[in-house]
Amino acid sequence: MSSPDPLSPGDYRALARFRYALRVFLRFSEDAARSAGVTPAHHQLMLAVKGWDGAGPPTISDLADRLQLKLHSTVELVRRAADAGLVTTAADEADARRQLVALTPHGESILASLSLQHREELRRFRTEMVDVLDELA
């Protein structure tokens, strides 16, 4: 096995720029969520529900995987988001031990507004991101 090509000053600058761009994006995202009246965690939960690409609605353990959270943390997050009127849960008819999660109309509406802002921000972000990733390629 050959050793990897050594790191150049440009590699370090690109890695640092990448992390800075991520931080600016995450800051934007957290501020946008709070301005829409939800916590960043509730926003991410709603996005994971709406963006779920499996057959049928996601279960709580599907969401735990997507959010990279422990199951008990996800259960608690879903409970708080349900209390806030953003999501509903229902037992899976095929397996009553599984809880399926869906958005309420209120959750749909907030997520749509946040998603438009995020799509816009990511369109701006794309150029910077691709530039930096190309420098490291």
Q: Kindly list the residues in this chain that would bind a second copy in the complex (CB under 8 A).
A: 4, 7, 11-20, 22-24, 26-27, 44, 47-48, 50-53, 66-68, 112, 115-116, 118-120, 122-123, 125-126, 129-130, 133, 136-137
Whole-number minimum distance, CB 69 to a second copy, in Å?
9
53, 35, 43: which is closest to 77 by C-alpha? 43
In 3-state terms, what secondary structure has residue 89?
strand
Whole-number minimum distance, CB 98 to a second copy, in Å?
20
Nearer to a second copy, 98 or 125 (CB): 125
Rounded to whole angstroms, the Cα distance separating 89 from 62 reads 13
b/e map of 72-93 (b: 16 or more CB within 10 Å)? eebbebbeebeebebbebeeee
Whole-number minimum distance, CB 77 to a second copy, in Å?
14
Whole-number minimum distance, CB 83 to a second copy, in Å?
23
Nearer to a second copy, 91 or 116 (CB): 116
69, 64, 101: which is closest to 86 by C-alpha? 101
- Residue 59 pairs with which residues in a beta bridge? 100
Nearer to a second copy, 90 or 133 (CB): 133
Nearer to a second copy, 22 or 91 (CB): 22
